[in-house]
Chains A and B, each alone.
Chain A
Amino acid sequence: MIAIVDYGAGNLNSVKKAFDYLGANVTVTRQCESVAAADKIVLPGVGHFSALSRLGTAGLRDALLEGIRAGKPFLGICLGLQWLFDGSEEAPDYAGAGLLRGTCRQFPAQVKSPHVGWNNLSLCDASLPGFSRSSPSRLLRNLAPDPFVYFTHSFHAPVTESTSATCEYGFPFSAAVERGNIFGVQFHPEKSGTAGLLILKNFCEV
């Protein structure tokens, strides 16, 4: 069973619908017990980074970290990806999970913000210099080269050694991250047509 974590921020229907369409067994939950009982965890989210503070008050933050430590596949979508990092300039008082290093920042002034629309991914090949990824991405497998996906966000995560795909908007940022059982995507796979559905299917099969 896949638990989609509801912390009262944003519309989770579309994420659930996409998993339903794929025939996955999913539940939308606010309960720590359901997160603990799940095989896989999805943390969606749109809006302001500070909304993630509700994870703490609901006790869900610890449940998520516990699940990740136990090796459960975890997928953060949009804000859910940003949560994996140390924090965000959008809400400096609230700490992210700190599982990946770096701070999420705003786009430079020369590009329009938010970054809204379909942009293409550059998949990070393990052989590229600067990327110490030793294995190909499990989440992004079987995608066509440079696939288009749908973004809507004002802040972005830095490119790190865990970056599995970058996207270019003013400069490159982390569009997808992957380390062991931790996965994150800045774009919305549930709104990214067939490419997005393939990514969610890959997550179901991890």
Chain B
Amino acid sequence: MLTKRIIACLDVTGGRVVKGVKFKNLRDAGDPAECADAHARDGADEIVLLDITATSDHRKTMLDAVSRTARTLFVPLAVGGGIRTVADAAAVFDAGADKIGVNSAAVQKPELITEIASRFGSQAVIVAIDAKRTEAGFAVFVAGGRRSTGRDAIEWAREAAARGAGEILLTSMDQDGTRAGFDCELVRAVAQAVSIPVIASGGAGSVSHFVDVFREGQADAALAASIFHFRIESIEQLKRELHAANVPVRWPC
């Protein structure tokens, strides 16, 4: 049976994993390769390295981190942050990533999705969507959630899939960092609109939140960052409890 994936996201800057609240008060959380390996051993089904600085000066440092992480990681590795061109994507794949995530650049230039997918395959392209509740529905935000695009998140997800995205990484701006639970309504709306897998993000705080987003939200995978750092909750424990709640997960792994 196809299982629900638990994806660990590591925020990286200057070649180090960092942890803060909404990108503020960053604390050093270790080496990317070591953190990724530790999460994989703990049962993570996939690892995401997110370049939170994503400036050109940091590009090489990030590629080094990807390359070192990929060398000893044998679960899928996705990399996001600052990928604006096919050449950017190619450099990340060369460094050893299996998938890349595009967000703002894809909104600005939707053809980018097709260009990367036709060269590296749809399975390698994740379109990340930051969505926020508005009176008119769920709106797409870019630039780290600072700028509204005026686009509808469900429509954009549908277009991204049609243009060749292999997966949608859907973050609720409203829930992100709150640990109050995923936005199941948002996730379900997108999951029902596209046939590609939807990764839910934003708001994970407890095991029951994961149960809810897989059942009510119909998510195919769930991503969490903060709760897995500093061992607040281990992935092993999360998976054991999901298994006990009859959510199909890769456990034991």
* 9-residue interface stretch from A32-40, A94-102, A117-125, A174-182: A117-125
A201 at the interface (CB under 8 A from B): no
Chain A, 9-27, CB within 8 A of any chain B CB? 10-11, 13-14, 17-18, 21
Closest to A10 in B: B121
Q: Is A117 touching B5 in the complex (CB atoms < 8 A)?
A: yes
Q: Which stretch (B55-63, B69-77, B200-208) binds chain A?
A: B69-77
Q: Do A112 and B195 contact each other (CB < 8 Å), given the known contacts A10-B121, A17-B70, A148-B253? A: yes
Most chain-B CB neighbours within 10 Å: which of A18, A116, A148, A196?
Answer: A116
* Distance between A19 CB and nearest chain B CB, rounded to angstroms: 11
Cβ–Cβ contact B123 & A46, under 8 A: yes
Number of interface residues of B (CB under 8 A): 31
Q: How many A residues are at the interface, by size bracket?
A: 20 to 34
Q: Which of B11-19, B93-101, B225-233 forms contacts with chain A?
A: B93-101
Contact string, A145-172, partner B, CB cutoff 8 A, digits 1/0? 0001010110000000000000011000
A61 vs chain B, min Cβ distance (A): 21
**Is A192's CB within 8 Å of the partner chain B?**
yes
A190: Cβ under 8 A from any B Cβ: yes
- Say yes or no for B179: interface residue by CB 8 A criterion: no
Chain B stretch 111-128: residues in CB contact (< 8 A) with chain A: 120-124
For A119, the chain B residues whose CB sits under 8 A away are: 1-3
Contact B93 A11 (CB under 8 A): yes
Any chain A CB within 8 A of the CB of B209? no
Q: Indicate whether B240 reaches chain A with its CB closer than 8 angstroms.
A: no
Q: Give Cα A119–Cα B93 distance, bound, in whole angstroms.
A: 25
- List of A residues within 8 angstroms of B45 by Cβ: 117-118
**Is A105 on the interface with B (CB-CB < 8 A)?**
no
Inside 8 A of A153's CB, which chain B residues have their CB? 123
Contact, CB under 8 Å: A21 / B123: no
With A117-B45, A119-B1, A191-B76 given, is the CB distance from A112 to B196 under 8 Å? yes
- Which single residue of chain A is at the shortest CB-CB distance from B40? A193
Interface residues of chain B: helix, strand, loop or mixed (majority): loop
Q: Which residues of B contact A113 (CB under 8 A)?
A: 195
CB distance from B44 to the nearest CB of A (A): 10
| CB-contact partner of A114 in B40, B75, B93, B123, under 8 A | B123
CB within 8 A of B94: which of A13, A47, A116? Answer: A13
Mask: chain B, 190-222; 1 = CB below 8 Å from A; 0 = not? 000001110000000000000000000000110
Chain B neighbourhood of A10, CB < 8 A:
120-121
Distance of B125 from chain A, by nearest CB (Å) = 11
Q: Which of A47, A112, A117, A196 contacts B74 (CB 8 A)?
A: A196
Contact of A118 among B5, B71, B74, B121 (CB under 8 A): B5
Assess whether B71 is in contact with A17, with CB atoms less than 8 Å apart.
yes
Tell me whether B166 is interfacial, beta carbon within 8 Å.
Answer: yes
**Shortest distance from the beta carbon of B186 to any chain A beta carbon, whole Å:** 18
Q: Does B250 contact A (CB under 8 A)?
A: yes
Q: Does B130 lie at the interface of the complex (its beta carbon under 8 Å from any beta carbon of A)?
A: no
Q: Please, could you name 13 A-B residue pairs with CB atoms under 8 Å apart, sorted by A?
A: A10-B121, A14-B96, A17-B70, A112-B220, A116-B167, A116-B196, A117-B197, A119-B2, A152-B166, A168-B1, A191-B74, A191-B75, A192-B74
Other A-B pairs, 14, CB within 8 Å; known A46-B124, A119-B3, A120-B3: A11-B98, A11-B120, A14-B98, A112-B196, A112-B197, A112-B220, A114-B122, A114-B196, A114-B197, A117-B197, A118-B45, A119-B1, A148-B3, A150-B76
Q: B residues within 8 Å of A by Cβ?
A: 1-5, 40, 45, 70-72, 74-76, 93-94, 96, 98, 120-124, 166-167, 195-197, 220-221, 250, 253
